[in-house]
Amino acid sequence: MPNFRFKLQIKEAGGKIRWAEADKVFAHLMDRYMKKQDKLQHNLERRLEKFSEAVYEFSNDYDEEMLEEFIDHFTEPNKSGTKMRFELEKTWSLGMRLKRWKRNGFGNKSKAAKKHYDFEKRDGTNFYGFCGECGGGDFYEPYSFKPGITESRCCNVILLDKRRK
């Protein structure tokens, strides 16, 4: 039985063209690809370690659980596994990001779980909230409405889902 092998024309560095067996070319290219992937993975791990060290420099200001959740969120890799979320941000200041992370309550699963709001949509689209100080109610558009954060228009205090008694 004859041995059929596919051959490819390969252009070498000096411009010389030669024939090579396709399976050997494929094996060579796969070997180079795997080495490159290993290098990228090692590089990603090194950058993750460096980022974690930079975040833990703020351990005097923030609790460890919050810092770990911050690291988990911002070190999520992209689809190709070459960059992490914080590297894809247009602007980045670690101190300011941590401050905003804490202020907005990210990473506080226990606090977030305790606060549950049950705002109604009385007209089908807009939320209806009550002022925490005077008790006045008003409609708020969904794009500008954030439970536990949005302030009332009258007294500028946090909105409540029910009128205070």
Question: From the CB of residue 131, how many other CB atoms can be counted at a distance below 10 Å?
Answer: 21
N-term to C-term CA, the chain: 94
145: DSSP letter: -
Asked if 134 and 106 count as a contact pair (C-beta separation under 8 A), the reply is no
Dump pLDDT digits (tens) for 32-66.
Answer: 888 887 777 778 888 889 999 999 999 999 988 89
The 3-state DSSP class for residue 93 equals coil
The phi and psi torsions of 118 (rounded to 5 degrees) equal -125, 65
77: DSSP letter: B
pTM score over 0.75: no
H or E, element range at 108 = none
| CA 38 vs CA 43, 85, 105, 132, 164: distances in Å | 8, 20, 37, 56, 60
Domain boundaries, given as residue ranges, for the chain:
16-111, 115-165
Give the residue-averaged pLDDT of 92-105: 90
Q: Which residue has the higher pLDDT, 7 or 117?
A: 7
Dump pLDDT digits (tens) for 100-119.
Answer: 998 888 766 544 444 556 66
What pLDDT is attached to residue 95? 92
